[in-house]
Structures are given as C-alpha cells and as structure tokens.
Structure 1
C-alpha cells in the first residue's frame, strides 16, 4: 500500500556532505485521531501528553459531541489540512468511507480496523490510492513478523486462529433471539463461529480484527480458518494461532485484558496503535 519512488544518484566532482538533524530537531509528525471512543480516547490523550516522541496531536475527528477533547475537534476535511497522519479508531465503516480520501489527500493512514481490508475489492482500491500510505496495526496479536517470514519461505499448509471472549461481547444484532440467548446464557464454552477471516470480519466487525491481521501476515497462498468461542469463565480475551508449514510449526497464545470501556476490544489495542505510529515518526537509529 505504498507508493514507490525512484531516486537517481548523481556523481559530482565536488560532493557535499550533509548531516541529518538530530531527532529532537526534526519536524514532528502531526496526527489526527479519527474516532474518539474507548480506543481513540487513549490514543489522543497519550499523544496530547507528549508520550510519543516525534508526534503531536493536531485534531480529533468524531461525529459525536465531545467535551474536553485534548485537541481541536474538526471534520475530516479540515483535519486533513493540519495532519500528516490520520489514525483510524472508528471501525471498519470509517475505513471504507474515508480511507481513499485520506490517502489521496497525501496523508498516511494507520488502520486499526483491519477487518475492513478483507473486502478484496476495497483493499485493491485502497492499495491503488495515494500518495499517502496505508499502514495496518497488529492490534491485539503478536508474532506476525515471524509468520510473515515463514510464509515468505513457503506457504503454510494450515493456519487456525481460535479466539475466546466473554459471551456478552459476542452477541450481534444480526443474531436471532434463539442464537443470541444461546451465546449470552451459555454456562460453558460454546462455538459461536467457524469460517473464513472475511466472514469473521463481516459478522463480528468489532471482535475479530485479529483474524484479519493473521490472514494478511500469511498472505493469500496460505489457507486460514477461524473459530470463535464464547466462554462465561473467560476473564481474559484469548487468541491462539496454530500454523503449520514446510519451515516449521508455530503456536502463539495471547491473553489480553478486555478494555474496561469496551469489552469487545482488548485494553492493549490503543498502545499497539501508538507503537505503529511510532514507526512513522522521526526517531534515533535504534532497533526497538
């Protein structure tokens, strides 16, 4: 989702040596936060507090009234005039509605609702947009760099993403009364969904971005299946990834505390977004 630039090197008889400015003197990246719910609030407040070196909060974009926002509350058009990067914290619909517009305005876009990209037609359109870049966060899962490296060696034979959450977080508006009651009132772990990452993203748009992130990491050549369980005893949100291929077998198990403000997401997600954003800011030349 990047635009390739070709640089031509010219040889001169009087070369000029330049020194890059120290990180503290480089321009700060101006950030607009799109969405001010449980995730966007944490991201915006951390940026406003100066906790991410090299970045500053320029605007908050939200359709809901906001009191005490840590930056001007602007509509998206005005925010694009003052921001270098837009951080999406507003859901898959916001990505589909605004993604191309943001990139075409020359702003980079950090996507947290990566399930939106399971729509292949939309993903292709976003990939063709620019000059801004689209960058996906890892969200509530880790180990994606290892899975991507193994996939580069050879496609996986099988990849399973198994997620377990509290029942109340998994009840959806599209469920009929009987299904909603089966999920909500279960006294033991119960399978709620089995299928593809694309169907998972469509049916559980606020709960299964992890499956989409794994799917993107291993690429279209590796088959990915998804299972979602409701467990009334689950105090933590659990994600398990089992991947088997020619270069190895990988088992990743992660247990996250649900967000106190929104149990459908994990408390770590806004910090994953900030970590992704840090990669777009001027930093010392250190491996982190």
Structure 2
C-alpha cells in the first residue's frame, strides 16, 4: 500500500505558487500539500494554511524549497536532521562545498535537487561514469534587467543598460558564478552537480536586450564523445529572473519522489 507524501512548500512566489497550486489540485499522484512556509502574508489565495518551518517539519515528510539559496543555507540541515526529506530548487546553494557535505550527512532526511531550466543532465551523469570530461561550458543569456546585481560597478551597469547587442557580464566557474547571481544562474550549479566538479564547468553570463527567451547552451567533450544541449525558455512573467518552466521541473521531481511509475527518471 502506497504512502502519500505530505508536502510543505517553502516560498509562495513564481515557483512555489505554481507548485503549491498543482499539489492542492491533486495533480501530483501520491503527494498532498499540507502547508506553505513564507515570511510574508499569503492572503486568501493560498490553498492551505501558512506554517512556520518548525510546524512544517513536524507535520510533513517532504519540504520543497522554492524560496532561494538563503533558505537552503539557513534551514537545510535542520530539515534533514528532523527526518524530513528536502527537495532543492535553488541548486546554486550547493556550490558551497562545506554546506553540501553537511547536507549529505545531516540525515536521516534525504536531500534531492531538481535540474530546473536545463536538460541533458542525466546524459552528462552517464558519460561521467565512462571517464572525465575534458571540457564543459555553459553560456547563459538573459535580458540585462534580470542580471543586475548590487556588486556591479557603474561602468558595467551602464554597458548593460545601453547595450544594443550581447554583452558579457561575467565569466568564471560554476563555483563562482551562482554566488554572484543567486536568482539567475542555478543552472550552472545543476550542470556542475551532474558533471561532479564545480571547477570543471566554465560559465559565461551574457546580457542581451534581444533575449526575449532565456537561453542556456551546454557544450561538453571528452574521450567518449561530444555533446551540446541548447534550451530557450520564456521568462516567468511574475519573476523574469527565472524561467517559466522551472516550477514544472520541480513538479516532475515531486512526481518521481511520490512514486509515480512508468516514466523515464
């Protein structure tokens, strides 16, 4: 006899609202939305009660993080230590090696992450077992306004705001870039987790005023082959820093965790 997953969604924003609504409407077999955790008032639109993190850990067996990297850092270990499983959408938090080690040993709860707005991660994981990849590159292109950050100097901001074509905003590794763009480059961390090496993935962030779609291009090569994946998503209208598809990737991960069968995992 199957057990229904009792789920808490953390964050009632662009991602959490879609995930929570789908759960409340019974669209994920084997999963039930019990509560929502958010430090802002949810209003009458929320389908279930608002709860604290402590209440969520007491009443649920799975917490879905949809509120940003800071939540993973502050609450991840406590959720797992309570025996509650954790599904992470903000994979950029896992660029912190020490945090990742603590999460992996914090049990008895189990930690999972979703690939979010990019595909091909399962193939990269499979190739990795054949041997190391010689080169892995990710190029992310977004509208300039979605990439502006407090650390940017006036010169860079001016270049982005007056750009008539693509402008490189930053290049570095998958360890460096998600820290600088905590809401925009979780994809870099997801690729690195699949490859198994944060420092091996070179990342380029590009601002383009013509980028009506958010674009991610992954290029990888090694002794066993060469691989290229390209995706172009519509930004979420409520939060253009994230792609519209992300909450549906979370829902797919939830469906797998809830035990739905007959699909490619």
TM-score range, shorter chain: over 0.9
User: 1:262-273 counterparts in 2 under 5 A?
Assistant: 262-273=239-250
User: 1:32-51 counterparts in 2 under 5 A?
Assistant: 32-51=8-27
1:28 aligned residue:
4
Deviation at 1:282, TM superposition (A): 3.1
| RMSD over aligned Cα atoms | 1.1
SS state of the match for residue 176, structure 2? helix
Structure 1 contact 159–222 (Cα < 8 Å) conserved: no
Deviation at 1:178, TM superposition (A): 2.3
Aligned match of 1:96 in 55, 73, 94?
Answer: 73
2:39 aligned residue:
63
| 1:235 and 2:212 are equivalent in the alignment | yes
CA–CA distance in structure 1, aligned partners of residues 254 and 128 of structure 2 = 25
| 1:204 and 2:181 are equivalent in the alignment | yes
1:124 aligned residue:
101
SS state of the match for residue 160, structure 1? strand
Aligned match of 1:156 in 127, 133, 138?
Answer: 133
SS state of the match for residue 210, structure 1? helix
Aligned match of 1:254 in 223, 228, 231?
Answer: 231
SS state of the match for residue 257, structure 2? coil
SS state of the match for residue 150, structure 2? coil
The verdict on how the C-alpha distance between 1:40 and 1:221 changes in structure 2, with shifts beyond 3 A counting, is: closer
CA–CA distance in structure 2, aligned partners of residues 149 and 121 of structure 1 = 25
Structure 2 gaps, min length 5: none
1:85 aligned residue:
62
Structure 1 contact 28–56 (Cα < 8 Å) conserved: yes
Structure 1 contact 28–282 (Cα < 8 Å) conserved: no
CA–CA distance in structure 1, aligned partners of residues 97 and 259 of structure 2 = 33
The verdict on how the C-alpha distance between 1:103 and 1:242 changes in structure 2, with shifts beyond 3 A counting, is: same
1:168 aligned residue:
145
SS state of the match for residue 187, structure 1? coil
Structure 2 contact 125–194 (Cα < 8 Å) conserved: yes
Deviation at 1:27, TM superposition (A): 2.3
Deviation at 1:73, TM superposition (A): 0.1
Structure 2 contact 173–198 (Cα < 8 Å) conserved: no
Deviation at 1:222, TM superposition (A): 7.5
The verdict on how the C-alpha distance between 1:220 and 1:245 changes in structure 2, with shifts beyond 3 A counting, is: same
CA–CA distance in structure 1, aligned partners of residues 42 and 199 of structure 2 = 43
Aligned match of 2:113 in 123, 136, 143?
Answer: 136
SS state of the match for residue 261, structure 1? coil
CA–CA distance in structure 2, aligned partners of residues 74 and 67 of structure 1 = 13
2:167 aligned residue:
190
For residues 164-188 of structure 1, the C-alpha deviation after alignment (integer angstroms, 9 at most, x for no partner) is 0011101111112222121122111
2:190 aligned residue:
213
Question: Max radius of gyration: which structure?
Answer: 1
2:202 aligned residue:
225
User: 1:10-21 counterparts in 2 under 5 A?
Assistant: 21=1
**Large movers: runs of 4+ above 3 Å:** none
SS state of the match for residue 133, structure 2? coil
2:84 aligned residue:
107
For residues 190-216 of structure 1, the C-alpha deviation after alignment (integer angstroms, 9 at most, x for no partner) is 100100111111100111111110001
